[in-house]
Amino acid sequence: MAKALLLDLSGVLYDGDVLLPGALEAVRRVQGSDLEVRFITNTSQKTRVDLLAHLRGFGFSVEEPQLFTAVDAARQWLQQRDLRPFCLVHENIRGEFDDFEQDDPNAVLIADAADGFSYANLNRAFQLCLEGAPLLGVGYNRYFKSGGEVLMDVGAFIVAVEFAAGIKATIVGKPSPEFFHQVLASTSASAEHALMVGDDVFGDVEGALNAGLPACLVRTGKYRPGDEARIDGDFALVDSVAEAVELALAAA
């Protein structure tokens, strides 16, 4: 019985500046039902404020507490430990970390820095980690789709630093079970009564399954034929978020 629906953003609801067909109607439909809806993203090229504006610009109705981002989870993780992060992040979100002391860093945060993934910046992250600084990552995402092009995502750069320094990162976004559970804690649903919908078979689907949530892979966004065979476990495979919503409502 589905009580909560967790929706990934990019590749599920929209692709860059393009709304995906049927997404707006599907989200409206489920928001008119008894299901609680949450928006959950590893995207780290936009601030929380800009993400909300982006969603609302498409016409989505999103209350501020319904949005959960890996960047927020990273902020919390660093704050709780009183760390001074070296932020290898996109220029767009640098301001989200203005309240952290960043001189003489004793931690490394890697988010989707895009062109910020230079040899010099990666070496700085690597050198700190080699000296013992903890490495924090927003996700293990392999690639994402933007404007019809596939681009390397943050996970690739995290594994690069892990490999070079011989360490393991702490991941705060998807596929971390803690992240899914944090989102669930804002609803009245337990894990088995939620449904995670995403286009990333690893971060969204495998992550949700490992956290005890049923999951649904959509054939939009970064989905490539055969992705469903890349992980173990039972999950639904559907053409779009509209079809995922049908599944959730039928199980409600």
Q: How far is the CB of 85 from a second copy (least distance, A)?
A: 19
The burial class, CB within 10 Å (0-12 / 13-18 / 19+), for 68 is: buried
- What is the closest distance, in whole angstroms, from the C-beta atom of residue 110 to a second copy in the complex? 12
The Cα–Cα gap between 141 and 68 comes to 17
Closest listed residue to residue 91, CA positions, set 129, 139, 50, 62: 50
3 state DSSP class of 183:
helix
| Stretch near a second copy under the rule CB under 8 A, chosen from 34-42, 79-87, 122-130, 205-213 | 122-130
From residue 66, give the alpha-carbon distance in Å to each of 28, 142, 192, 199. Answer: 14, 26, 19, 20
| Contacting a second copy within 182-201 (CB under 8 A) | none
Whole-number Å distance between alpha carbons of 22 and 150 = 23
Residue 5 Cα distances to 55, 137, 200, 227, angstroms: 17, 25, 16, 22
**Coil/strand/helix, residue 174:** coil
Q: Which of 61, 230, 233, 251 binds a second copy (CB under 8 A)?
A: 230
For residue 117, count other CB atoms closer than 10 A to its CB: 18
Contact pattern for a second copy over residues 137 through 176, marking x by CB under 8 A:
-----xx-----xxxxx-xxx-xxx-xxxx----------
- In the complex with a second copy, the residue whose CB is nearer, 114 or 247, is 114
Binding mask 123-142 for a second copy (x = CB under 8 A): x--xx--x-----------x
Contacting a second copy within 82-121 (CB under 8 A) = 113-120
Please say which residue, 134 or 155, places its beta carbon nearer to a second copy.
155
Question: Of the candidates 122, 208, 242, 244, which one interacts with a second copy according to CB under 8 A?
Answer: 122
Three-state secondary-structure class, residue 236 = strand
Q: Of 156 and 237, which CB lies nearer to a second copy in the complex structure?
A: 156
Q: Decide whether 62 or 138 has the Cβ nearer to a second copy.
A: 138
Give the shortest CB-87-to-a second copy separation in angstroms.
17
Q: Is 68 in the site for a second copy (CB under 8 A)?
A: no
Q: How far is the CB of 165 from a second copy (least distance, A)?
A: 8
| Rounded Cα distance, 143 and 76, in Å | 25
**Cβ closest to a second copy, residue 113 vs residue 194:** 113
Quote the CA–CA distance of 26 and 13 in Å, as a whole number.
9
Q: In the complex, which residues of this chain contact a second copy (CB under 8 A)?
A: 113-120, 122-123, 126-127, 130, 142-143, 149-153, 155-157, 159-161, 163-166, 230
